[in-house]
A and B are shown apart, each in its own frame.
Chain A
């Protein structure tokens, strides 16, 4: 196929290029610049080369130890909430009504947690879980469970996980529901005729048809939970000790607590790279597994074809790095 050659068309890209340059590339370059230097305040900088990066990956140093420990906690956290939210979201979507006024009611109720600002979510659970005045904490202690997220590691973890499940399962459920709604009735009728059980219908029709929205859901939830900051910071402040200190919390401690801009910048870059690489691997694996499904992509609704946009949240990372 012959392409029309028109170099002037590049001018159309120019505005976007400028916006991206000032909003993303230039701040990012500042971070790259800092990551190679050490500072002792007073705007004095000393060249450090790749020193911070070496330290980051070496668990025997202070920086590396803290980074790798928080990275481990973060990965564990993401795995746990994915393992809970994805199946739970599917179950919720499956049990939602398919028509009538109850659909609207369910959608509104499900959407509510998503509309609450993140630090408010943290505050809600911080108060909700307090043993003295919080409904949850008080009731748990009243029935004889020794629950205190301020002093007990496990309680703190459970609180943070339950909070995330409460906050974000709706997103998975809504995505799955959209996937389910796009399945034509003929599929269910055919399955009835073929004598399929409820489980067989799920396995043969619903799960394969939800495949693409589930990919989006897992990607979004992985990235969001891997970048989590506000809610655990408000609830536990990363404690007790360092037990709920995730990478982003560690980053803020280093950048703003210690004002170690060089270390913090190096950490941000590695953090960013990890997310990019994990998402890329994940997306490639999932789309390759779905290559056979491509032919039928044209019959799928546009809503199910958004995964490309799922990689976009990367610029959303920048504000957090801007902090550094």
Chain B
């Protein structure tokens, strides 16, 4: 178990001389707390698997250092780093029984037999694999196989961290839920640092206490699910987290007012020192915009359709070129195809060049 520090870490598959913009993983400095449950969230190709493989040592980074408890382990091979990783597709050793599969990482490290048997029995029990321990692993179903892979990741009690690379991709949705809550329970029970890579926000938000969002090779925000929801640090986070994503609208911001098409939207904070020449946008989650009947003092948008999600309804509207989703309260209807929009000032954020700007009180 260890704290993991990434210092100015970057990686390019094209070698160190490639232009920084082409790096798969752009320089990142961050700390992973011991015993934390992290999710690494981002769309395909954003660099999350690269980051994971750099931490586990499968890839040697082009630049920067990785510290385990302050000790530089960047040059060490995967075998020498104390790390476990579970891959997207189940990897099982065909000729071995389930129990032997679970024991494999321990046996390779010369752990005494009594200790191995104890750990295997314990992990087998935690993952509900104990009826199968003496069966050949090849005949099991995909999810049982993936459980074995998970088990091999968890069987060593001394690992610095357990890394999961989209481990539930091959699992049926029904079992996904079970396995995910199992992982969460295991995290509490075993007190291991876990890093979970996924492109599924539900998976990330339910598993982790800290979610790290990556976009285009950069870590754009790391925080609790609530932080990501309430205060996205980057327009991408706002857009990627939440369903539907945050509304991002180009606007002119001066002081406590944002102007869209000459219409004024009140802001809770004052933005006087915005960087000159930057692209200014406001972002507000659909949950904090209400679609009402058009009226004086309200921004008016063209209504395209209403999505009924059962528990809540969202009005999809159009403002010039921009699209905007808004909560449609019960009884809302629009006979003429337009809707007035009521913004909640405390949840309207201002972004300069996609980055959140903190206003003055």
Contact = CB atoms under 8 A, between A and B. Distances in A.
A292 B139 contact: yes
B78 A184 contact: no
Contacts of B288: none
B78 A193 contact: yes
B94 A296 contact: yes
Nearest to A209: B94
A137 B297 CA distance: 105
Contacts of B83: 193
A75 interface: no
B58 A192 contact: yes
A244 B79 CA distance: 52
B271 interface: no
A193 B139 CA distance: 24
B93 interface: yes
Interface string B73-90: 000011100011101110
Given A186-B88, A208-B95, A193 B56 contact: yes
Nearest to B137: A292
Interface string A169-200: 00000000000000010110110111111001
Contacts of B302: none
Contacts of A296: 94, 138
B108 interface: yes
B109 interface: yes
A195 B89 contact: no
The contact size tier of chain A is: 20 to 34
B138 A195 contact: no
B93 A189 contact: no
A204 B89 CA distance: 17
Contact of B79 (A184, A192, A209, A293): A192
A256 B79 CA distance: 65
B152 interface: yes
B149 interface: yes
A192 B78 contact: yes
A200 B107 CA distance: 10
Nearest to B108: A195
A33 B312 CA distance: 88
A100 to B, nearest CB: 16
A204 B58 contact: no
A204 B109 contact: no
A296 B83 CA distance: 29
Contacts of B57: 192
A99 interface: no
- Interface of A, secondary structure class, is helix
**Most chain A Cβ neighbours within 10 Å, of B83, B93, B104:** B93
Given A195-B79, A208-B94, A296-B138, A190 B85 contact: yes
A217 B337 CA distance: 73
A197 B108 contact: yes
B166 to A, nearest CB: 12
A290 to B, nearest CB: 10
A292 B78 contact: no
Nearest to A184: B89
A205 interface: yes
B91 A204 contact: no
B85 A189 contact: yes
Contact of A292 (B85, B138, B152): B138
A196 B108 contact: yes
A190 B105 CA distance: 10
**Most chain A Cβ neighbours within 10 Å, of B57, B77, B139:** B139
Contacts of A203: 95
Contacts of A186: 87-89, 91
B139 A200 contact: no
A208 B93 contact: yes
A60 interface: no
A293 B137 CA distance: 10
Interface of B: 56-58, 77-79, 83-85, 87-89, 91, 93-96, 104-105, 108-109, 136, 138-139, 149, 152-153
Given A208-B94, A209-B94, 20 more contacts: A186-B87, A189-B78, A189-B85, A190-B87, A190-B152, A193-B105, A193-B153, A194-B105, A195-B105, A195-B108, A196-B79, A196-B104, A196-B108, A197-B108, A200-B104, A204-B93, A292-B139, A293-B138, A295-B138, A296-B94
16 contacts: A186-B91, A189-B85, A189-B87, A190-B149, A192-B78, A193-B153, A194-B104, A195-B79, A195-B105, A195-B108, A200-B108, A204-B95, A204-B96, A209-B94, A292-B138, A295-B139
